[in-house]
A and B are shown apart, each in its own frame.
Chain A
Amino acid sequence: MSPPPNELCPSVKNILLLDSDGKRVAVKYFSDDWPTNSAQEAFEKLVFTKTQKTNARTEAEITMLENYIVVYKFVQDLHFFVTGGDEENELILATVLQAFFDSVGLLLRGNVDKKEALENLDLILLCIDEIIDGGIILETDPNVIAGKVASNSIDSGAPLSEQTLTQALATAREHFARSLLK
């Protein structure tokens, strides 16, 4: 009936980011409930088809599938999902979803669609890594999450001294070309 003590800690079973065809953009599983890739894909397919027709664009939506609680939110051609066990507090899962959704929004500077997400896949993966560690919630404040991810991003990261000469030249040329076009 009641979960064993070590399962009292709020936990997330997976985070999924799928496109509008149900294909993976980025997924992360924290539970052995889906031991193989095909089991994971089957779950993704189920989640996608069961939620596809709902309108989860203004408020996060929620459903129960195979004894899992799934909270989800859609924007453009991206579908965000967070899954938890059936004993989990729905609002905690919704908080994680919102954290994921908002920090991706910040990292992609508001251009949240599949193309942008794939072009910045490194940021998306780091973002998931900063939200959940092994199923346990690490951080839920989107500003903090995005800050941690962005400070590492390549564009702002590498100091000039680290760049090779050719690279520095390429960057300079790029800047030059851009200023000409303006």
Chain B
Amino acid sequence: MAQPFMKKDDDRDDEVEYSPFLGIEKGAVLQEARVFNDPQLDARRCSQVITKLLYLLNQGETFTKVEATEVFFAVTKLFQSKDMGLRRMVYLMIKEISPSADEVIIVTSSLMKDMNSKIDMYRANAIRVLCRITDGTLLAQIERYLKQAIVDKNPVVASAALISGIHLLHTNPEIVKRWSNEVQEAVQSRAALVQFHALALLHQIRQNDRLAVSKLVTSLTRGTVRSPIAQCLLIRYTSQVIRESGNNTQTGDRPFYDFLESCLRHKSEMVIFESARAITELNGVTSRELAPAITVLQLFLSSSKPVLRFAAVRTLNKVAMTHPMSVTNCNIDMESLISDQNRSIATLAITTLLKTGNESSVDRLMKQITNFMSDIADEFKIVVVEAIRSLCLKFPLKYRSLMNFLSNILREEGGFDYKKAIVDSIVILIRDIPDAKETGLLHLCEFIEDCEFTYLSTQILHFLGIEGPKTSDPSKYIRFIYNRVHLENATVRASAVSTLARFGAAVDEIKPRIFVLLRRCLFDSDDEVRDRATLYLNTLGDDGSVVETDKDVNDFLFGPFDIPLVNLESSLKNYEPSEEAFNINSVPKEVKSQPLAEKKAPGKKPTGLGAPPSAPPSTTDAYERMLSSIPEFANFGKLFKSSPPVELTEAETEYAVNVVKHIFDRHVVFQYNCTNTIPEQLLEDVIVIVDSSDAEEFSEVFSKPLRSLPYDSPGQTFVAFEKPEGVPTVGKFSNTLKFFVKEVDPTTGETEDDGVEDEYQLEDLEVVSADYVLKLGVSNFRNAWESMGPDCERVDEYGLGPRESLAEAVNTVTNLLGLQPCEGTEVVPPNSRSHTCLLSGVFIGNVKVLVRLSFGLDGPKDVAMKLTVRSEDETVSDAIHEIVASG
């Protein structure tokens, strides 16, 4: 076809592959395109040149504006030829060039002629091309033809018009919406794909009219849909209707579920899978509804087709997150997939098994995975590592085999992300499973002996510094740490010095020995390492005596650093050397700082429950700092909890107000965050008048007005209440915003002098019992439960009356109590008649609370509940019961 430029090939090997496009050049092809202008068109030659042009475009070559215009005009000449093949290439070429609006006019008449041609192929393609390149004005001219084409008896023409309609709906919705009668007719077409395209367009035209969509779905689910793809589409529309209608039927039967279920018996696998997937994704799907879908997916797992196996295992993997029990039936099929040739399928199978597995199957599973790990890529390995981490948190007693597995794979080859995932997992396990601490730390120590990643080494050293001194025999880690000082780069050495110092500061017995090591570091070649060693030696008391380290020194060296580095940096830049030394207290702390990872562990005193709070303390800290800056609140004591903001106004009103409830031991402070959204107004003396007549036990003690509230700069006003100490007092408050309005000229910013007093009604606010409870998880509920002991245990039984489901009852009680569900027990396995849910948290007054909720079905819908509360204080145990009794 093309004449190859042989010169270019001289420097290539002999085995150059033959290609018709060898040595093709844009300039030469553009020259060749002149044949389009010949008075006697050579159709074959012209087609070849178009193919070459398309080849160039396909290879990523671009045409300049001028070149594209030239090619376009030349191509339009080819409409003179009656050669069908050439015409087809012309259509393709015009679509690829995507001409500009003024150029389109040139081909419009030719294309409109083709749209009315007797040849179906011309009609169909001319429609597709014209609709691709047209704008709104032209569309009005050809609308008539398009409507005709939609109901054309040739399916290719009808499909072309319908698909064009789908594309045009984005740019010219008003016009396309006028075609709905024709489209409706096309939905009844006997041609399978016409029906599919018509259905897609009709739904898009009506998508904002819920009733119409619902009607459409109702009529089609009863009728016949001819193509599998159209059936898939109908399933998607049906799920959407189900989603939007909510499951509000009393009988518990979901509308259209029967239709989805019947599609599971369709002859096309595509439809079977679509409906199975749709069922698994239903909101609040029950195990009864799931069962038939799981059955067909299970059959797919042993299909000979990889695509089917993949689709099935991927869907089951998602189901396993919410309904692990429903998937356990597939475990045997799943296990055989571990050896699947397709590693994506194998990885999905393994992670599914890790989610559904029970305690007894862990060891067997780990054996299978070990063989599997050696021959998959890093990205799959990371997925597996993460799944193992969550498995270990689920079954803490199995930490030994899981930790061993992690340490084994840590020793093998792998990239940074993979190693980091493993290290992160070990760190999390050490934090959450106390028993795993010592072995985990030793694994990490061994890893840094031979670790090529500076970042990981420093992270581990830092972590060792925090956790190591708290172990039974801290001295055994010193060797690993001091080896770093000999063998590593400066960054790691500096890190190791800090870690040594932490051990020295925390463990008095080994302090003298640590000092010997630190003194050796004074001769390091790197100044950071030397500086650190000097600092530690001086501050920790370099007299070699065994003395307890001063608390202030400890705080200074290892305490949390709560000044945002950005602020510190800018303050230091602004500091001008003078008599006065730089004062770190002058650095503003306002910017929300990233909570430092180390803050968690050393900052809080070790709790009997094992784990530090899971929520990052940053927002509470910010609130605490802000409130303590207001003198009137200073004597309220420690802030117990701050609620998330509750909106008191609708969106887009004149004044936007939300409120944060701050709970103290004997006080409640409402923080009203107000925003003025009117540029012409300035508000002054803004205050919220709170009517607490529905909250008898609260008495207002103080309110702090907001001096001025200019446009679009939020401000706060506060109201404080006194309440009985340590009790979860509840009540309802109605709020009115009160202020003086002053007119502002938005152009000059001038404010008028006299204001008018005005009021603005806000929505009511409630203080509920959950406000007095902090969510705080424990990793090992049984340990915590037993160590708490039955001294202050309170047990009682409650009838919850008829409930929609067990899961709904669990959810309601959990929300009412505001406690943290532990060990995944908030998920109710489908089909169960009883369930136990474990909750933990902290009650106001800093009293730890553990709750064991046992639910049982009593009769068809009635739920009975046994509530066992253990806490450190029996009045708190009683209070928890009261919450349930009065809720």
Residues of chain A at the chain B interface (Cβ within 8 Å): 2, 5-6, 8-10, 24, 26-27, 37, 40-41, 54-55, 59-64, 71, 89-95, 114-115, 118-119, 121-122, 125-126, 129, 133-134, 136-140, 148, 151-154, 157-158, 162, 164, 167
Contact of A92 among B19, B229, B304 (CB under 8 A): B229
Name A134's closest neighbour in chain B (CB-CB).
B167
Contact of B163 among A27, A41, A92, A133 (CB under 8 A): A133
What is the CA–CA distance of A2 and B204 in the complex, to the nearest angstrom?
Answer: 16
Residue B690 is within 8 A (CB to CB) of chain A in the complex: no
Taking a contact as CB atoms under 8 Å apart, the answer to whether A152 and B84 are in contact is yes
Residues of B within 8 A of A27 (CB): 58
A-B contacts, 18 listed (Cβ < 8 Å) = A8-B233, A59-B304, A59-B306, A62-B342, A90-B311, A119-B20, A122-B50, A122-B51, A122-B89, A125-B54, A137-B229, A138-B163, A154-B44, A154-B83, A158-B83, A158-B85, A167-B42, A167-B44
What is the CA–CA distance of A137 and B43 in the complex, to the nearest angstrom?
Answer: 30
Shortest distance between the CB of B97 and any CB in chain A (Å): 14
Task: Label chain B's interface by main secondary structure.
Answer: helix
Residues of A within 8 A of B51 (CB): 121-122, 125
Residues of B within 8 A of A134 (CB): 132, 163, 166-167
Taking a contact as CB atoms under 8 Å apart, the answer to whether A89 and B60 are in contact is no
Residue-wise, chain B 192-234 has the 8 Å CB interface mask toward A (1 for contact) of: 0100110010011001000000000000000000001100110
Taking a contact as CB atoms under 8 Å apart, the answer to whether A89 and B92 are in contact is no
Name B51's closest neighbour in chain A (CB-CB).
A122
Residues of B within 8 A of A89 (CB): 232, 270, 273-274, 277, 311
Residues of B within 8 A of A2 (CB): 240, 243, 281
Q: Given known contacts A2-B281, A92-B270, A129-B95, what 16 new A-B pairs fall within 8 Å (CB)?
A: A62-B307, A89-B232, A95-B228, A118-B21, A122-B47, A122-B50, A122-B54, A122-B89, A126-B89, A133-B160, A151-B84, A152-B84, A153-B85, A157-B84, A158-B85, A158-B86
Shortest distance between the CB of B777 and any CB in chain A (Å): 25
Taking a contact as CB atoms under 8 Å apart, the answer to whether B306 and A60 are in contact is yes
3 A-B pairs with the lowest CB-CB distances in the bound complex, closest first: A157-B85, A90-B311, A37-B60
What is the CA–CA distance of A26 and B19 in the complex, to the nearest angstrom?
Answer: 14
What is the CA–CA distance of A63 and B344 in the complex, to the nearest angstrom?
Answer: 6
Residue-wise, chain B 269-313 has the 8 Å CB interface mask toward A (1 for contact) of: 110011001000100000000000000000000001111101100
Taking a contact as CB atoms under 8 Å apart, the answer to whether B21 and A126 are in contact is no
Name B166's closest neighbour in chain A (CB-CB).
A136
Residues of chain B at the chain A interface (Cβ within 8 Å): 1, 17-21, 40, 42-44, 47, 50-51, 54-55, 58-60, 62, 81-89, 92, 95, 121, 128, 132, 156, 159-160, 163, 166-167, 193, 196-197, 200, 203-204, 207, 228-229, 232-233, 236-237, 240, 243, 269-270, 273-274, 277, 281, 304-308, 310-311, 314, 341-342, 344
Residues of A within 8 A of B86 (CB): 154, 157-158
Contact of B58 among A24, A133, A137 (CB under 8 A): A24
Name A136's closest neighbour in chain B (CB-CB).
B163
Taking a contact as CB atoms under 8 Å apart, the answer to whether B89 and A90 are in contact is no
Shortest distance between the CB of B172 and any CB in chain A (Å): 15
Contact A8-B163, Cβ < 8 Å, known A24-B59, A162-B81: no
Residues of B within 8 A of A62 (CB): 306-307, 310-311, 342, 344
Taking a contact as CB atoms under 8 Å apart, the answer to whether A118 and B19 are in contact is yes
What is the CA–CA distance of A114 and B21 in the complex, to the nearest angstrom?
Answer: 12
Residues of A within 8 A of B273 (CB): 89-91
Shortest distance between the CB of A160 and any CB in chain B (Å): 12
Shortest distance between the CB of B52 and any CB in chain A (Å): 9
Taking a contact as CB atoms under 8 Å apart, the answer to whether B60 and A40 are in contact is yes
Residues of A within 8 A of B21 (CB): 118, 121
Contact A26-B58, Cβ < 8 Å, known A2-B243, A94-B307: yes
Residues of B within 8 A of A158 (CB): 43-44, 83, 85-86
What is the CA–CA distance of A40 and B57 in the complex, to the nearest angstrom?
Answer: 13
Residues of A within 8 A of B228 (CB): 95
Taking a contact as CB atoms under 8 Å apart, the answer to whether A154 and B47 are in contact is yes
Taking a contact as CB atoms under 8 Å apart, the answer to whether B82 and A118 are in contact is no
Taking a contact as CB atoms under 8 Å apart, the answer to whether B58 and A91 are in contact is no
Contact of A5 among B58, B62, B207, B277 (CB under 8 A): B207
Residues of B within 8 A of A10 (CB): 229, 232-233
Residues of B within 8 A of A121 (CB): 20-21, 51, 54-55
Contact of A125 among B19, B92, B240, B308 (CB under 8 A): B92
What is the CA–CA distance of A10 and B341 in the complex, to the nearest angstrom?
Answer: 28
What is the CA–CA distance of A55 and B522 in the complex, to the nearest angstrom?
Answer: 60
What is the CA–CA distance of A133 and B305 in the complex, to the nearest angstrom?
Answer: 27
Name B95's closest neighbour in chain A (CB-CB).
A129
Residues of A within 8 A of B163 (CB): 133-134, 136, 138
Residues of A within 8 A of B193 (CB): 137-140
What is the CA–CA distance of A130 and B665 in the complex, to the nearest angstrom?
Answer: 72
Residues of A within 8 A of B307 (CB): 59-62, 71, 90-91, 93-94
Contact of A9 among B59, B233, B304, B344 (CB under 8 A): B233
Taking a contact as CB atoms under 8 Å apart, the answer to whether B342 and A54 are in contact is yes
Taking a contact as CB atoms under 8 Å apart, the answer to whether A164 and B42 are in contact is yes
Residues of A within 8 A of B87 (CB): 152
Taking a contact as CB atoms under 8 Å apart, the answer to whether B305 and A6 are in contact is no
Contact of B311 among A91, A137, A151 (CB under 8 A): A91
What is the CA–CA distance of A71 and B21 in the complex, to the nearest angstrom?
Answer: 28
Name A95's closest neighbour in chain B (CB-CB).
B270
Taking a contact as CB atoms under 8 Å apart, the answer to whether A59 and B305 are in contact is yes
Residues of B within 8 A of A71 (CB): 307
